[in-house]
Each structure stands twice: as structure tokens, then as C-alpha cells.
Amino acid sequence: MTNPMRDVETGRFLRLPVDPSLPLEKQLELETASVSKRGYWRNRTRILEKKRNEYPERKTKILAYARKLKYGVDEEFVQQLNSIQKGKCGICGKIPKRKLGVDHVHEAKVVRGLLCKYCNTRLTWIENKAWLVKVLKYLGMEEIDLW
């Protein structure tokens, strides 16, 4: 059986015709390009459309996998937490525009709840006791005993 991409006599791969709708620079570049690169440029719109359609599904799978590795929780657990908190941040009680982030103890893989990005960032600052003492000193409130 012969390969339609190979020349019958020499056995070399045939050059595919370059798409005339591409810019001249791209056409010249593809004249010397490999077969796979030419195939990409011929099917570029179809390939990009397929990636665009698959993106949301792929993104949720990747985020779920990362959450499992980092916090040791699966998507079902996060959904349960979200329903318990009624989609609101655990600290400020607002419904965020973006998804809630998983709040956890950094030393151990213990999940405390779901927080909005603003509260989660601020909580990280407060957990750093040395930084908080410096802030209180700066504000002239070093006499306050927090711990």
C-alpha cells in the first residue's frame, strides 16, 4: 500500500500546497516548513476552535486535580462546602464575582473553608505574626497583646 504523502518513485514526502489566503511572509516560511507545520497552518482555525470548545472542561479538570494534590480534597467536598456556606465567603459573607478559594492551614493539609480572594489574601497576612507585630508597631499600637 502506498502512502499518498510520499512520492512513489523516490519515497520522499510530498510538499503540500501553501494556502494562498495566508500572508506572503507566512507562505514563504511554509514553503520550507515541515509537513506537520504546514498541516497545522492549513487546519489552524479548526484546531483553535476545538481547543476553545474543550477549554472550560479541561480547566475544571486541571483545577480539580491541583486541588486534590495541594489540599487533599476532591471536587465533591468543595461543592459540599460551597453549599454549606451558600456560595458566600466564610469571612465577609459576600458572594464573590469569581469562584471561592480553598482556605487551609499551611502547615497541615487541613481545609478551613472557602474564602473570596480579598479575604484569603488578608488572612494570609494576619497569619504571619511577625509581619502583624511590625504593622502594629508602625501604627503605634505595639502595647496591644494579641497572643
Confidence of residue 84 (pLDDT cuts 50, 70, 90): very high
pLDDT in tens, 119-147: 888 888 887 778 888 877 888 876 666 55
Contact 125, 106 (CB under 8 A): no
CA dist 147 → 126, 132, 133, 144 (Å): 12, 11, 11, 9
Contact 102, 78 (CB under 8 A): yes
Domain 72-138 coded CATH 3.40.1030.10: no
Q: What local confidence, expressed as pLDDT, does residue 23 receive?
A: 78
Confidence of residue 88 (pLDDT cuts 50, 70, 90): very high
Which grid cell sits at 62?
A: 486541571
In angstroms, the CA 14 to CA 100 distance is: 53
Confidence of residue 43 (pLDDT cuts 50, 70, 90): confident
Per domain, the residue ranges of the chain are 17-60, 72-138
pTM value surpassing 0.95: no
In angstroms, the CA 59 to CA 70 distance is: 16
